[in-house]
Structure formats: structure tokens, C-alpha cells
Amino acid sequence: MDKIDEIFKKVNLKEGKIVIEKFLLNLYFYERLSTKELAKMLLIPIPLATAIKKEAIKEKIVKQDNGICLTEEGIEYIENNMGYKGINKKIYMKIMENEDLMDFYNKIYDSLEIIFENRVEADVTIDQSKCTLDTAIKRVFMGLKNFSIVGKNIACVGDDDLISITINVILKELYQGNIQKTRIYVIEKDKRIIEYIKKMVEKFELKNLIIIEMDLKNEINPKLKNIIDCVYTDTPYTYNGLKLFLSRAIEIMKNETGLNIFLSFEHKSQDDMLRIEILLYNMGLAISEIFLGFNKYEGAEILGGEGQFIILKTTNSTKSMIKGFFEELIYTGEIKRTKRKYKCKNCNKEYWIGIEENYKTIEQLKEKGCEKCGQNIFELLERKHENAQN
């Protein structure tokens, strides 16, 4: 049996075996800590930290030596079994401590900038909204701080923000190209995004990235179930969309408590957030942290250019709320249908823009140009709203 599994079996940890992983990883990076310091870092009582220490000593991966530290066997276990061999510990520590990372950050930014500049246009009809490159990097740093990336199976449930590529590039820099056990799964239905990610994988020789084309309304392939340690998702900005994406995330995640779902979602009113929190409660997901205004988006006027970043944790009660095919509407444009009338400023020809019209977005109309005169400058005349019936 794996050493962490063995310790978890003997120590009653409601917080999950992720706490044991963090116990060991903090020793790996800080090298020597007291029981009190570890308890404070892990947000657990000192007696519980003591119990973990005692079992880790029995497994010969930890020793008491003017504090608690790893044995040579413990270091080898973390590097080979948990995937940290070859990682730049100095840089990782700076990420953990929010220290100055200008040189490292600029190197990552330069590597990713051209990839982000050339990504496909956001399809607003399916609630796509491109986050900034800075936001993508911050999301990955958050995963690293939570020890949710290195050596893990990660899933990007929808990836118009290219988090999969961002993770890959950052890990390549942390490992100087030799990424260990990490696997990144992209679950996406937009063929344009899939093709672009494939193109970038080939062009920049990215590794450990698995792309799965699927519509989340369909049932999850049994081979995908219960294999994922951590999920990133920027869901449709509706109750149904959130319910669907989180349910599918739960289905593919391992049946363990304390695993992280990094959720990006728009800011909502108190009443809407209460409804969402009730949904999370019914799904058995615990809210760990909420960062308002964390996400920045390019040209997302409807969102005010910002959104919240929520860290959710699995519990012993976590469950999917969906069985089989999901029939309900999930996108804002489907549920709250908006039609806009535009007029060509050159020839006055009028167009209706909407999900059921020839042109679904004004961007599509501008790209094609006026059918009568070819110009692409339009004036908004009126808008109509109607709510679709589920």
C-alpha cells in the first residue's frame, strides 16, 4: 500500500488524505518545522498533526530532529512517487509565499503571449468570455499553492481560457522541460478550441495533455470516471450551466474528500448567490475561499470585465446532481433571449441579431460586413428580451 494511504488508514482525518500530502510537502519545501507550525499551516489541531507525524515516522519518511524533517527515504518518496523530482524549489517557494517573481513571471508571460493573442474568438452564444493571460497565470499559481497540480490528474472542463496550456508552460519552466507525473485532460465541445489547442501542443512541443471532445450534456465516458484529482472550470453563467458542469466534474473526480474544484463564475446578486450556495450544499461541495474580482476578461462588457474565483472542496457527501443526458437549457442566450436591431451607418440596411437569427452576434455581422454595401459600421436601434421556457 502507498505510504500516504497507509498513514491515512491509521489516522482519522475528516479533511481527507490531501492533508497528509500537504504535511509532507511543507516539510519538503521548508525542510524543518515544528508540530505546532505544521498544525497551523494545515488548519488542523496539534494532536492531529502529532498523530500524522507518528505514523509518518513509522513509515520511515519523517524523523524528529530538532523539529520535524523528512528522511532521505521521505525525500525520495516525494520526488519519485509524488512527481516533484527536478522541480525548481526556490521558484515554487516564491509562488507559495507570494514573493517577487518578476523574472519567472515575465518568462512565462512571453512564452504564452503569442498563444493567447491568436486564440479563437469567444462564442458569446455559449457564454464564452476570454480571460486575460494574467488571470490564467494567477489561476495556475493558485493551484500550485494548494498542491493541486504537480503529479496530479487535472481536468479543464471547458477550456476557452487555455488553462491546460498555461499549466503546461508553467510546469515546463518549473521543471526545465522535464514534467513528471502530471496529466492534463481537456474536456471541450468547441471544435475551434480543440483544433487550436492541438496546434499549440504540436508547435510548442507540449506534453502530458489529453484532449477529449464531448458535449457535457451527454453522459460521461465510464473510462473518465473517478480518475481526476483537480478540476478547473469557467462554467456558463446560468444556474443550469453551473449545475451541469459541476456535476460532470464530480463524476470524473476521484472519490476522495478535500479535492479542489477551481470555479470561475460571474458576480451575482445576493439572492442568486444564495440559490447557488444551496445547489453547492445539495451537491456536497464545500466553499473553501471566494476571491471577488479575481478573474479579468477581455471585452466582457456584460460581466463588467470581471468575475469571481471560487475554490470548492469535495466532501464525503459530494455527488452529481445529474443522471444520463441533460435536457435543460444552459446558456444565457438560450434562457434569456435577447434580440438586437442594428442599422448599417452607410446604407441604413437593418439587421436583427440573436440566437435564432442569421447573425448570432454583432461580431459575426461586422466580420462579414453589410450585405448591401459591404461596410462594417453599425448602429444599435433597439433590443428585445424574452425568457425561454425550459
| pLDDT tens digits along 372-389 | 888 988 888 887 766 554
198 has a pLDDT exceeding 90 = yes
User: What pLDDT sits at residue 126?
Assistant: 66
- Label residue 361 by pLDDT band (50, 70, 90): confident
Where do the CATH 3.40.50.150 domains begin and end in the chain? 89-314
Q: Please identify, in words, the CATH class of the domain defined by 334-387.
A: mainly beta
Where do the CATH 1.10.10.10 domains begin and end in the chain? 3-80
What residues pair up with 339 in beta bridges, in sequence order? 384
Non-local CB neighbours of 76 within 8 Å, separated by 6+ positions? none
Q: Tell me the residue ranges of DSSP E strands in the chain.
A: 62-64, 68-70, 153-157, 183-188, 209-213, 230-234, 260-265, 285-296, 306-314, 336-344, 350-353, 378-387
Mean pLDDT score across all residues of the chain: 90
302 has a pLDDT exceeding 60 = no
303 has a pLDDT exceeding 60 = no
390 has a pLDDT exceeding 50 = no
Read off the C-alpha cell for 296: 479579468
**Stretch (H or E) spanning 37:** helix 35-42
User: What pLDDT sits at residue 366?
Assistant: 83
Q: Which of 109-118, 126-135, 174-183, 288-297 has the lowest mean pLDDT?
A: 174-183
230-250: pLDDT as tens digits: 999 999 889 999 999 999 999
Phi, psi at 327, each rounded to 5°: -95, -15
Read off the C-alpha cell for 223: 473510462
8-65: pLDDT as tens digits: 999 988 889 999 999 999 999 999 999 999 999 999 999 999 999 999 999 999 999 8
Where do the CATH 2.20.28 domains begin and end in the chain? 334-387
- Label residue 181 by pLDDT band (50, 70, 90): confident
pTM confidence score: 0.86
Interval 255-263 mean pLDDT: 97
305-350: pLDDT as tens digits: 899 999 999 999 999 999 899 988 876 766 666 677 889 999 899 8
User: What pLDDT sits at residue 84?
Assistant: 95
**Higher local confidence (pLDDT), 254 or 357:** 254
The Cα angle at residue 389 between residues 192 and 235, in degrees rounded to 5: 35
206 has a pLDDT exceeding 90 = no
77-108: pLDDT as tens digits: 999 999 999 999 999 999 999 998 999 999 99
User: What pLDDT sits at residue 386?
Assistant: 61
Task: Name the residue type at position 56.
Answer: A
151 has a pLDDT exceeding 80 = yes
- Grid look-up 444599435 returns 380
Q: Which CATH code fits 89-314?
A: 3.40.50.150
- Label residue 178 by pLDDT band (50, 70, 90): low
Read off the C-alpha cell for 128: 464564452
Determine contact, residues 384/339, Cβ cutoff 8 Å: yes
> Is 3-80 a CATH 1.10.10.10 domain?
yes
User: What pLDDT sits at residue 304?
Assistant: 58
